[in-house]
Copies of this chain bind each other. A is one copy, B any other.
Amino acid sequence: MTEFGLIDYVAKLFQGVSHHGWESIGDDCTVLPIGGGEVLVVTTDMLQEGVHFLCHATSARELGGKSLAVNLSDVAAMGVKPVATLLSLALPAECCDEWAKEFVEGFHSLATEYDVALVGGDTTSSQSGVSINVVAIGRGRAECVKRRSAARVGDVIYVGGELGGSALGLKDILQGSVDSDYAALHRNPRPQVELGQWLGTRAEVHAMMDISDGLASDLCHILKLSHCGAQLEVNAIPAAGGDIETAVCGGEDYKLLFTVESDAAERFESEYREIFQQPIYNIGRITAADEPRICWSEDGVEIYPEWRGFTHF
């Protein structure tokens, strides 16, 4: 059973159970209206030693930061501010007190930077390997919430920064170059929390998510839920090291991917540049299509690459 096979099975099982107001619609987070025009959004991610990280290739401090970062990125992708987190930690006996302390210091450092409270958690022992589960909770106005299902035909597609750097870093690490710039990027992802909140306030921003499994794979989630296709120009994609295939297929970049009403795109771009003082990447368009397919072009000429994102088990 693939990861998505199990999720589908679970979703089908739970169809009959009351949702108690929670909205679970295939987004980065689930959404709960709490009155006063506000919502909470909640997400969770589990990280396993040997699957998501290698203890010899990352410091405990970096791992603590990264395990929070990936969850803050999911909250940011909903367009609201992350406010709280819960941390569960299973540690093997050979994991010393110093390691545990450094892990929570890294976690704390990122939480402080993004003003996120630790409001709960669990610690336990593990028979083998470190296991981490983080929950992140965001809070904001209901009208700010951006959903994957909201892309419209004609929307301009943007990404919030360079892609592929994290995957290049992982290659470096696996080849023994643990000190490269890309390796550091892979170990210390920066969730686009401020950008996500700003995008939440813009009505011309329609669909949004963060790129964790690769642009090609993640854009397809938007296309599937929005019942449309996309046309992407590969030379417009900001590829780390000029490596377009890794930019498209590599995971763990945690950059925001979003679509903007075409009429508003020009003004949007100029305000974005003024506020964030950094480039913005218009990589293509949402198109009318019967299936969630991406059409690729290079300098305007259609091409047919065989690119796919990655999947866990």
Interface residues of A (CB under 8 A from B): 1, 3, 5-7, 9-10, 13-14, 16-20, 22, 24, 29-30, 32, 34-36, 38, 40, 42-52, 83-84, 86-91, 93, 97, 100-101, 104-105, 108, 111-112, 115-129, 131, 133, 135, 137, 139, 312-313
Query: Are B13's CB and A104's CB within 8 A?
Result: yes
Query: Are A1's CB and B49's CB within 8 A?
Result: no
Contact of A14 among B17, B48, B118, B125 (CB under 8 A): B118
A125–B123 CA distance with the chains assembled, in angstroms: 20
10 A-B residue pairings within 8 Å (CB atoms)? A1-B100, A7-B121, A14-B108, A35-B35, A40-B40, A46-B88, A48-B90, A50-B127, A126-B131, A127-B128
Taking A51-B125, A115-B17, A128-B128 as contacts, is the C-beta distance between A42 and B120 under 8 angstroms?
yes
Which residues on the B side are within 8 Å of A32 (C-beta)? Answer: 40, 84, 119
Query: Are B48's CB and A116's CB within 8 A?
Result: no
A69 to chain B, nearest CB (A): 15
Contact of A122 among B16, B18, B44, B84 (CB under 8 A): B44
A185–B18 CA distance with the chains assembled, in angstroms: 28
Which residues on the B side are within 8 Å of A135 (C-beta)? Answer: 42, 44, 86, 135
Taking A19-B117, A120-B30, A129-B126 as contacts, is the C-beta distance between A86 and B44 under 8 angstroms?
yes
Which residues on the B side are within 8 Å of A44 (C-beta)? Answer: 86, 88, 120-122, 133, 135
> When A and B form their complex, which 4 residue pairs have the shortest distance between CB atoms, in order from nearest?
A50-B127, A125-B313, A133-B133, A34-B34
Oligomeric state, in copies: 2
Query: Are A48's CB and B1's CB within 8 A?
Result: no
Which residues on the B side are within 8 Å of A7 (C-beta)? Answer: 121, 123
- The residue in A9, A14, A108 that gathers the most chain B C-beta atoms within 10 A of its C-beta is A14
Query: Are B45's CB and A117's CB within 8 A?
Result: no
Contact of A128 among B22, B100, B129 (CB under 8 A): B129
Which residues on the B side are within 8 Å of A88 (C-beta)? Answer: 44-46, 133
A46, closest chain B residue (CB): B88
Query: Are B118's CB and A10's CB within 8 A?
Result: yes
Contact of A127 among B24, B43, B48 (CB under 8 A): B48
Which residues on the B side are within 8 Å of A36 (C-beta)? Answer: 35-36
